[in-house]
Every structure is written in structure tokens, then in C-alpha cells.
Amino acid sequence: MRMYNPEWEAVKDLVFTPKVLDLHYDLVSGEIPEDHGFALYRELLRHLPWLADAPGAAIHPVHGAPSGRNANLVINRRVKLVLRLPIDRLEAARALVGEQIDPGAGPLRIGALKEKNLTPFGTLYSHFVTQGDLDESTLLIEVRRQLDEMGIQCGLIAGMQRKMHTPDGEISGHTLMLHDLSLVHSLTVQEQGLGLHRLWGCGIFVPHKSIKEVATV
């Protein structure tokens, strides 16, 4: 017997026209540097040059397992390359299938893709939210300002500090959880993101099952 879940019942009745979708590409086994945000963007840009100017485009961080030998993540068949793209760019993004990229730890072959809609959920999590080099308290003030501009009220929980190397120097940020979002606001945050550098894997939000200590995620 399936238990009644009011949140999922509300999702069934939600009317929302999506502007973006997530494309999940298979990756042939290999490795990718843990700090891969900018390098992955640079590699994908070789094959999809329009990425740089596509409104709403984002490149999710790749979540492999630590190799234990170096600062790389191991890619197994469950690990996907995920792009969040405007609806009108989905067909063009199919050109990535079969291509090869090297974000810094050897070549990776990109395989078949699947389209997935964004999922409205009251709790969202981002692996890395940054405004450059702001400290945690100032970052939260800036994030709250951005949410206010969207007309969104919700709870914020910042977690562990993150760092990323780029050609212009190191940027820092924090993991961030948003909770008590309405379903429409959840989709709005997922479509727009928060902070800077969406194409480097920052400020991208995904559904999270529960509120717990973000520093352990």
C-alpha cells in the first residue's frame, strides 16, 4: 500500500512550463580531477561553443568516487555528465554524444543521453555557491538578497567551504541548502541558480531528501 505524501500529490497537480531540462550523458570509465569545474567547461565549449552565451545553461559538477591515489574522482557507469540547458538547445546538445573530452585526468568518451525534467522539491542543495571570495556570512547576505529579488522566502543553511582554481585565480564558496520552498519557488531556483559561475558547476541546485548537516554532504 502506497503511503499518502502531500508533497508528491501537490507535484501531480502543479502547472509549470519548464524553461530548462537536465541532460544526463553516459561517461565511459576513467577519472576526472576533483577540482574540474573550469576545465570541464573549457572542454565542453570546444564541442558546444554556444554554451557560453546560452541563457540558463549550467554544467553540473561530476560526482565520482575519490580514487584514494591522487586528487582525482573515479568515473563508473553510474556517474553521469549533466547539463542543464534551455529547451531550445536540447537538439543542438545531442552533438556531444560520441565526442571525447579531457578535463585533466585523461580522455573521457561521452555516451548516450537522457532528458530529465527538473523535480520540484521543498529542500534543495548546491555543491558550491560562490560570489568570488566572500566569507560565509557575507555570502549568505548576498544569497538572501538574490532570493528577495525573486520574491522567494525560505531557510538557508551554509556548509563546508569549497575552493576552485581558475585561470584568473582561486575562488571560494560554500555548500548551501535551501529549505521550506514552495514547489514553484523550488523550480525557479533550479532554473535560475544562485551566485556566480553556473557553467563552472557553481550555484546549481538539486532536490535533497532532508535537512541535515550540510557540512557532511
Residue 201 in grid coordinates? 558547476
Q: Is 13 within a domain?
A: no
Residue 6 has pLDDT above 60, yes or no: no
3-state secondary structure of 69: coil
pTM for the structure as a whole: 0.90
pLDDT tens by residue, 75-93: 999 999 999 999 999 999 9
pLDDT score, position 29: 81
Count up the domains in the chain and report the number: 2
Residue 194 has pLDDT above 80, yes or no: yes
Consecutive H or E run containing 161 = strand 155-166
Q: Is 68 within a domain?
A: yes
pLDDT score, position 18: 84
For residue 23, the cross-strand partners are 83, 115
Q: What are the angstrom distances between the C-alpha of 82 and each of 21, 41, 157, 201?
A: 10, 12, 25, 10
Q: Residue 142's domain is classified under what CATH number?
A: 3.30.70
Q: Report d(CA 202, CA 204) in Å as an integer.
A: 6
Residue 209 in grid coordinates? 531528501
User: Which residue reads 537536465 in cell numbers?
Assistant: 22
Consecutive H or E run containing 142 = helix 136-150
Last residue of one domain, picked from the residues 116, 142, 173 = 116
Average pLDDT, the chain: 91
User: Which residue reads 525534467 in cell numbers?
Assistant: 117
pLDDT tens by residue, 131-184: 988 899 999 999 999 999 999 999 999 999 999 999 999 999 999 999 999 999
For residue 179, the cross-strand partners are 155
Last residue of one domain, picked from the residues 116, 148, 178 = 116
Last residue of one domain, picked from the residues 86, 116, 146 = 116
Q: Is 54 within a domain?
A: yes
Q: Is 6 within a domain?
A: no
φ, ψ of residue 152 in degrees (nearest 5): -110, 125
Length of the chain as a residue count: 217
Q: Report d(CA 20, CA 15) in Å as an integer.
A: 15
